[in-house]
Amino acid sequence: MAGGVASRHAASDDDGLVQIGVLAERVGLSLRSVRYYEEVGLLTPTTRSVGGFRLYGPEQEERLLLIKQMKPLGFSLDEMRELLDMLDDGAKATPGSKKARRLAVELDREIDEVVSRRHELEKQLDAVDRLARSLRTMSRHLAATDED
Amino acid sequence: MAGGVASRHAASDDDGLVQIGVLAERVGLSLRSVRYYEEVGLLTPTTRSVGGFRLYGPEQEERLLLIKQMKPLGFSLDEMRELLDMLDDGAKATPGSKKARRLAVELDREIDEVVSRRHELEKQLDAVDRLARSLRTMSRHLAATDED
DNA sequence: TTGCTCCTCACGTCACGTGAGGTGGC
DNA sequence: TTGCTCCTCACGTCACGTGAGGTGGC
């Protein structure tokens, strides 16, 4: 092991921990969003540096990525927290145990919700396609120079 | 023509005008949203009844539908107003005229924006699918009763 | 008169954006 | 010392939600 040295520009740590700037950049969210998610209990930093800087591990990055991916479905942050906490509970539970089976049932409900919202969104995308086509028609109509 | 009689429950008018409740129901938006769109100059009622009730014609319903369909793309109401007003201008302009050709150029830029946001959304939908699959895997793993 | 839909304030909420002023390590 | 990234308030914004109190036509 390389020991607890290094960290160029204090951007990343030997432990694989990263500052909020790196995390936000990687996932594609604003610093404000990440901090806000902490405010509402959706994403807690793994730890803090001596100077008070938030430091995040890979599990937090994974969690943040899930959050970002769920955004287009229009879940509230509270609903996302519910689902993500459920997943964390699931990771700790023994498969087949009573607790795990109860979790699976709840999880199935969440999955149904995800799928149904996904289908809604897909229908809306189809509507967007029709819109784009009619916009193109309109544009060609307007630009018509009578030379064809 | 049947003359200016009727209107059961004052819900619709002979002119094809409808009250806000009917409009909102048809398009699938809240009364508050429709009123808010008027506040920001995005959708003006065709007229008002004697009692002050908002009345909307088919063109307004069409416009509201476009607004609803653009929502998943994440345009701000101001950006939508820009596009919709552009379409209205286009409907009034003579095809091939200088004004119409300028409009067509602007419209093409808007179309590019719509298409690029649409593709972004599609990529996010793919991510959602992967998410749903891993949720299902997790659920089956938890529910495993060792009996298969 | 009752019931329904509508009306206008106006304050609340959610998910952040945006400075303001300050700290901390190369 | 300069430059960069980070910090904590705290107020602003966007797109509505949600009553509060009142009106209007079958």
Is residue A117 within 8 A of residue A74, CB to CB? The reply is yes
Ordered per-residue pLDDT tens for chain B, 148 residues: 333 333 444 444 457 899 999 999 999 999 999 999 999 999 999 999 999 999 999 999 999 999 999 999 999 999 999 999 999 999 999 999 999 999 999 999 999 999 999 999 999 999 999 999 999 999 999 998 755 4
Could you identify the residue whose CA is nearest to the C1' atom of nucleotide D16? B33
The total number of residues shown for chain A amounts to 148
Name the residue facing A128 among B69, B90, B146 (closest C-beta): B69
Is residue B18 within 8 A of residue B55, CB to CB? The reply is yes
B110 in reach of chain A (CB within 8 A): yes
Q: Model's pTM, two decimal places?
A: 0.88
Best of A117, A135, A136 to mutate (most B CBs within 10 Å, chain B): A135
Distance B15 CA to D25 C1' (A): 18
Contact flag, residue A111 CB and nucleic strand C, below 7 A? no
Residue of A nearest to B89 (CA): A142
Contacts of B27 (CB under 8 A, 6+ apart): B61, B64, B65, B68
Residue of B nearest to A70 (CA): B128
Give per-residue burial for B84-121: e unless 16+ CB within 10 Å, then b.
bebbebbeebebbeeebeebbebbbebbeebbebbeeb
